[in-house]
A and B are shown apart, each in its own frame.
Chain A
Amino acid sequence: MTKIEAVIQNSKLEAVKTALQEIGVEGMTVIEVRGHGRQKGHTEVYRGREYSVDLIPKTKIEMVLPDALVEKAEQAILNAARTGKIGDGKIFRSRIDEAIRIRNDERGEGAL
C-alpha cells in the first residue's frame, strides 16, 4: 500500500478530485493547509500597515492506494493540478505498513 499526499492550489481541488475519481480512486481526505515552498508569500496592506503573508493557503489531499493504482493516480494529479507556474504544489509518496477498517477489523488492501 502507498500513501500519496498532494499539496495543490485551492482552485485545483475540484479538477484533481474528478480526475482521481475517474481512474477509480475510492477514498481521500482533504485538508485546508497553509505553507510555503519556494514560492514567496505576498504583502497585504491594512490602513497603511504592511503585513507579509508567507504561509499561503493550499489544499492537501491524502489517500492510501493499492500499489497498482499509484502511478495512474500521480499522473492524474499532475495533469489536473498543473498550471506551469510557481506554487503548483508537490506530491509525496510513502509506504504504508497496514490499513485497518474500524467497522469490521478488515486488514490490508481490502480495507482501503
Chain B
Amino acid sequence: MLNAAAAAQGENHSVSIGRKLITVLVTLVLVLIVAQSVSAQTSSSSIADTNARLAKLEQQAIDAKSSADNAWMLTSAALVLMMTGPGLALFYGGLVRKKNVLGTMMQSLALMAVVTVLWALFSYSLAFGAGNSFIGGLQNIFLRGVGAAPDVDYAATIPAQTFMVYQLMFAVITPALIAGAFAERMKFSAMLVFTILWSIIVYDPMAHMVWGKGGLLNASLGGRFPTLDFAGGTVVHVTSGVSALVCALYLGKRLGYPKESMPPHSVVLSCIGACLLWVGWFGFNAGSALGSGSLATSAFVATHFAAASATIGWAGAEWIRNGKPSVLGGISGAVAGLVAITPAAGFVKPMPALLIGLIAGVFCYLMVARVKAKLGYDDSLDAFGVHGAGGTLGAILTGVFAVSAVNPIFKDSQGNTLPSGLFEGNAHQLLNQCVGVLIAWGIAVVGTLVILKLVDVTIGLRVSEEEEVQGLDLSQHGEEGYYWEASA
C-alpha cells in the first residue's frame, strides 16, 4: 500500500519514474510468489541447510576472533622479547663502565637463550601446569599437550602454544632484571647457575601462585588470596627487585664504591634501551589481556600514561633538587612508571594511571637518590630501587584504584560483578594485595639467599679483584665492547 501510494505520488511529478516503480513492484511480487512455492516444497531441507550455514558462520566467527587475538599475542610476545634484547641489554649496558659493557649485555642475551630452553623442558609446566597452590605439576614437561588447541583456563581464543611462548618472554626478562644489582662484579658462570636456579625456585612458583591454575594468589581461577596482578607487578618486578637487593647485600660493593666515581659510560645507549623498554611494555601489559579486545586498549593506554607521568615525576624531582632535569632521570622515571603500572594496567582507568605513574616517578627517585645513599648498599644499576620499590608500590596502588568497570574480575555466585579495589568499596582487596606482595618478598628473599649461598660455596660468586679491575668484558668473555684498531 505504501509503495503503491509512493508510486502514485511519483506519477504526479514524473510519469517515467512511476512506470519504473510499477515495474519493480510487479517484479518483486512475482519473485515472492515463486520463492514461496519453492520454499513450501523444500522447507524441511532448507532448515537443515540454514542450520549448517549458521554453524559454519559461528565457526568462522570463532576462527576470525582467534586469528585476531593470535596476531596481537604473537606481536606482544615479540615485543616482550625485545624488552630483554636489545632493550634491557642497552639500558643496563649503558649504565656500567666501559670495561663491563659486553659482560652486562651478555647477561641479558644469555638469559634469552637459557631460560627458553628451561621453559621448553619443564619450567612452563612448573609455572602453568595444573598443580597445587604453590607450583604446577609435571604434566606439560617437554611441552606435552601444549599445541594448537587453546587452554581455556588461561586464554580461550589463542593456541596454547601462543600462550606458552608469550609467558616464556616474561620468564626471560625477570631474572635479567636482577643483573642490575650484581653488575660489574659477578662471574659469568656463577650468574648462569644463579639465574637458572632462581628461575626454577623463585620465578616458576611465583608465576604459578599468581597466574597458574589453582594458584594461591590467583584472582580469576579461585585462589585463596586473590591478588590483582595484571602483568606481573609481583611475579616479575617485586621478585626480581627484592632478589636484586639481596644480591647487592650478599655480594658486597664493587671495588672502589662509593669512593671512586662510576658514572654510566653511555647514557646514549641507556636512553635507546629505555625507550625500547617503553615500547616493548605495550606487549607486556596490553598483551596481558590475552586478546586484542578493549581490555588490551585500556591496558595500553594506562601503560603509556603512567610511563609519561613518571618521566615527568622523576625528572621534575631532579629539577627541583639539583637544578637540572637529566636524561638518565627521565628514562629511569619512565621505567619506574612502567613497573608500577604493570600490576594495575588492566584494572585502572586513565586518570588513576597518570597518578600511579607520577607517584612512582617521585617515589623511586627518592629510593634511588636518597634512601640508597643512606643505607649504603651497592645496587649498581638500581634494580631494587626501581623494580623492587616500584613493583611493591604498584601492587599496593592496584588494590586502591582497580575498578570493575575496566575489568569485572570478581563475581558472586550468581555472576554479578563485585567491586574490585578500595575506592570502589572493596577495602579487603588492599589486604590481599599486601599478602601477594609479602609472599613475593618472602620467596624472593629466602630463595635468593639459599641460591647465592649454594653458588658461593660451590663455584664462587665474584670475579677476582684482578678480573674486576680488568673488567668483565676481557676477564669473562675475552673481548672488548669498543675495540681500538691501531692499524685500521
Contacts and interface: CB of A to CB of B under 8 A. Distances in A.
Contact of A46 (B258, B264, B370): B264
Contacts of B329: 47
B369 interface: yes
Contact of A47 (B258, B261, B324, B328): B328
A44 B263 contact: yes
Given A51-B261, A51-B263, A45 B373 contact: no
Interface of A: 44-49, 51-52
10 contacts: A45-B318, A45-B324, A45-B326, A47-B328, A47-B368, A48-B365, A48-B372, A49-B369, A49-B373, A51-B263
B332 interface: yes
B263 A46 contact: yes
A48 B264 contact: no
Contact of B373 (A44, A48, A52): A48
A47 B382 contact: yes
Contacts of B332: 47
Nearest to A44: B263
Most buried by A among B261, B326, B328, B329: B261
Contacts of A49: 258, 369, 373
B117 to A, nearest CB: 35
A51 B115 CA distance: 37
Interface in B148-181: none
Interface string B197-208: 000000000000
Given A47-B328, A48-B365, A52-B261, 19 more contacts: A44-B263, A45-B318, A45-B324, A45-B326, A46-B263, A46-B264, A46-B326, A47-B332, A47-B368, A47-B369, A47-B382, A48-B318, A48-B368, A48-B369, A48-B372, A49-B258, A49-B373, A51-B261, A51-B263
Most buried by B among A45, A47, A52: A47
B98 to A, nearest CB: 15
Contacts of B369: 47-49
Interface residues of B, number: 19
A45 B322 contact: yes
Contacts of A52: 261
A42 to B, nearest CB: 11
A51 B267 CA distance: 15
Contacts of B261: 51-52
Contacts of A48: 318, 321, 365, 368-370, 372-373
A18 B350 CA distance: 57
Interface in B330-372: 332, 365, 368-370, 372
Nearest to B264: A46
Interface string B260-287: 0101100000000000000000000000
Q: List 8 A-B pairs, minimum CB-CB distance, nearest first.
A: A48-B369, A51-B261, A51-B263, A45-B322, A47-B368, A46-B263, A46-B328, A47-B369
Contacts of B326: 45-46
A44 B322 CA distance: 10
A27 to B, nearest CB: 21
Nearest to A52: B261
Nearest to B381: A47
Contacts of B318: 45, 48
A32 B368 CA distance: 34
Contacts of B370: 48
Nearest to B364: A47
A8 to B, nearest CB: 25
Interface in B282-336: 318, 321-322, 324, 326, 328-329, 332
Contacts of A45: 318, 322, 324, 326
B79 to A, nearest CB: 27
Contacts of B382: 47
A32 to B, nearest CB: 13
B313 to A, nearest CB: 14
Nearest to B267: A46
Contacts of B365: 48
B308 to A, nearest CB: 20
Nearest to A48: B369
Contacts of A51: 261, 263
Interface in B369-405: 369-370, 372-373, 382
Contacts of B321: 48
A71 B306 CA distance: 63
A48 B328 CA distance: 10
A46 B372 CA distance: 13
A46 B328 CA distance: 7
B149 to A, nearest CB: 48
Contacts of A44: 263
A47 B386 CA distance: 11
Contacts of A46: 263-264, 326, 328
A43 to B, nearest CB: 9
Most buried by B among A48, A51, A52: A48
Contacts of A47: 328-329, 332, 368-369, 382
